[in-house]
Structure 1
């Protein structure tokens, strides 16, 4: 305990080599195939978010030396169109660009990679973020079609399970960890209730960037569309309505469209810098990045990944669960969210106080930095300090990161 206390005290001490956060923003999150971004391309959503992240950080586009964007579904890993979006947003050719795909944790991994590069002395300022247009790029439902025969016919169960649909992994978690249908529906209602309360109180306004884009209809007619708020949050959700929904993945299952995360579109971004650079340029950080840990689990119950990643994060940083003020735990499914809450012994009042992906949506590549922007807003509102972001990831992983507000 004494050692843990000293390590926590050390974490609270600021150093010139700290990786600090200068801004964190997101686009509105909209419903896949029928929401505000249904006719937008991922680069349409991302470009204004990147520009706004720089503006709110009070820096110039030329100050950003490298950009890493998480993306799961776009063609060519979003590498070329992402670079186009960066330049279109007003960044100079000297600002470099690349992408990363760690499934649902892609943008959180982007933050981690950029933080590590700053710590290593590669550069002083970077942007990390993510984008996903599931409306445009969800044809395969996230399951690859092109798999060679040696893997398609593998006898290694865990390898074969990497192709298991996410909904089936949710059912596995529900069965194995005793999460019944009623508990899942009750949690889904809680997520929507909290999100509606946050929406009514304008809590999402400070983190959200309005996006305008040009859409073309089937006849080639062009129109300007402006999206300035989330359209995923349902206002009239009741337990009765949730209980009437049919299982989505198995006839006798418990995961439904109502207690699972929504297919959705959105983007998010954050500006990271070395503290010494921020001080030199007269900038005030809003938070400090503390670290990230990743842990593997069985692919057929990938949703419990945070159960392994979060304790590993505690150990690495020298903190305890009681030190964490707010958790942003991605709600891929109510089944796995509740399994993680129960296994970790989390206080539900500290988890997703403004709702999560069940209500807000889960644009896969953008979720990690979406959670970051929401977490920073809530830490400020509650005048709290330490926050943890965590999520499961397809093929059996959990990722967890910690920040401290300044």
Structure 2
């Protein structure tokens, strides 16, 4: 077991520079929806602000409290009794058992009745998005009419890096070994193989902060963020009550010159730094989904329509390329092209992988993460897929016209996930 832990912490095998990657991609997806009463629609979505792990205002806040805040807010905003829900699915990565006990406790903290079921799912960084896929699937199959899809993570209170009990035989299988390559090394692998320079990565990071700063100053996040009243203890041990309203990771003063001074974080000669990587964070998000016919019968609004979803597999030692393969799969399913999409929300796990995906797919930069991404806002693992969906749909609504958006995630052990949404217009 010690051998496995050492491998998990230090394994750094990676493909040689150059050449084209070949991926055997198996699609795991629902068929694209056809407009009509059976559409899976998103009614509403809210999120907490994203706090800095270990030193932000959520550092002492348990994940059940974060989750409860968004669960209650979504239902209260819609004036809907929780007993209308057929199921609740929560994405989580770091809590023991993917947070199954935590989620049920949040359920009761939110004053949901015991008759409403809840479960959790862990598909690593896309767990919040997978929760949405699961609820959508249950609606599509006819099992439920309404459901709540959530994501939550406290990276302050749970540590990363423990893969659990693994067979020592993993060293005999190349792909199995690659599953425990540290995420930072996968970023370096992508940068090296595909020639993503340090300058490109730093420029992308600066842009993320600039976009998030503009969004924050203009009040774009106000409609999606739930105020959370919590308690925090300062360095002197003094506890005080605070209301958290604002994402904490945005640094308007970020410059290329400043980022250029940072040392590589994972290899001495590498290009991935703390400044061009996502921030470890705390946060939660929730979305109310339903069958269109049921939603309309209750007089609820339609914020978005789920038009397609896809999950694909890619090499685990270059997991960050997942969106470059998941997005085309979802677009094909929806009968759309890159040119049809108004907004792409792509997780910025690392600037290297985000830049690769943008370049590979030829995405217009002004349509990618228009209000900043995980480099500026933060990346609470189990929350991010749900958070990005909330942000996407609020942004499409803000624009005030019918349009399409894509949410896409890379997944740590070598996968990618994507969803296509339509905003039907005001």
| TM-score, length basis structure 1 | 0.93
Instruction: Measure the CA separation in 2 of the matches of 1:298 and 1:58.
Output: 45
Q: Pick from 84, 99, 104: which aligns with 1:78?
A: 99
| CA distance in 1: counterparts of 2:227 and 2:296, whole angstroms | 30
Question: Which residue of structure 1 lines up, in the alignment, with residue 415 of structure 2?
Answer: 397
Residue 241 (1) aligns with residue 262 (2): no
Single out whichever of 191-200 and 314-323 deviates more from structure 2: 314-323
- In structure 2, the partner of 1:26 is 47
1:330 CA displacement: 0.5
Counterpart in the other structure of 1:173? 190
**Are the equivalent residues in 1 in contact too, given 2:58–2:232 (CA < 8 A)?**
no
SS class of match (2:248): coil
Among residues 83, 92, 115, which one is paired with 1:62 in the alignment? 83
What number of residue pairs does the alignment pair up? 393
Instruction: Assess if the C-alpha contact under 8 Å between 1:325 and 1:384 holds in 2.
Output: no
1:305 aligns with 2:352: no
**Offset, 1:222:** 5.8
* 1:32-57 alpha-carbon deviations (Å, 9 max, x no partner): 11011111111111101100011223
Given the superposition, is the C-alpha separation of residues 18 and 145 from structure 1 closer, same or farther in structure 2, using an over 3 Å criterion?
A: closer
CA contact (8 A) 2:308 2:331 kept: no
Distance 2:37 2:161 in 1: 42
> How far 1:384 moved relative to its partner?
4.5
Distance (Å, rounded) in 1 between the aligned partners of 2:237 and 2:396: 46
Match of 1:319, SS state, is coil
| C-alpha displacement of 1:67 | 0.4
**One of 127, 142, 145 as aligned partner of 2:161:** 142
Query: In 1, Cα distance between the equivalents of 2:261 and 2:116?
Result: 51
Moved more, 219-228 or 87-96: 219-228
The aligned residue for residue 386 of structure 1 is 404
Query: 1:199-255 CA deviation, whole Å, 9 max, x = no partner?
Result: 110001100001122456899976433211111111211111111011111111000
Match of 2:271 in 1: 254
Equivalence for 2:307: 290
Q: Which residue of 2 aligns with 1:116?
A: 137
Q: How much does 1:385 deviate? A: 1.1
Listed one character per residue, the Cα deviations across residues 138-193 of structure 1 (whole Å, up to 9, x for unaligned) are: 2xx23414322222xx3211110100000000000000111011111011000000
1:13 shift after superposition:
5.9
Deviation at 1:291, TM superposition (A): 2.1
Give the aligned partner of residue 5 of structure 1.
none
Distance 1:237 1:216 in 2: 28
Q: Is the CA contact (8 Å cut-off) linking 1:20 and 1:288 kept in structure 2?
A: yes
Q: Which runs of 5+ in 1 are unaligned?
A: 1-9
Correspondence list, 1:204-215, <5 A? 204-215=221-232
- Cα deviation, residue 12, structure 1: 9.0
Instruction: Tell me, yes or no, if the aligned pair for 1:49 and 1:209 is still in contact at 8 Å.
Output: yes
* Alignment RMSD: 1.8
* Structure 1 residue 320: Cα displacement: 1.4
Residues 84 and 12 of structure 1: is their aligned pair in 2 closer, same or farther, counting only changes over 3 Å? closer
CA–CA separation in structure 1 for the residues paired with 2:221 and 2:370:
12
In structure 2, the gaps of 5 or more residues are 1-30
- The separation in 1 between residues aligned to 2:226 and 2:335, in whole angstroms, is 35
* TM-score, length of structure 2 as denominator length: 0.89
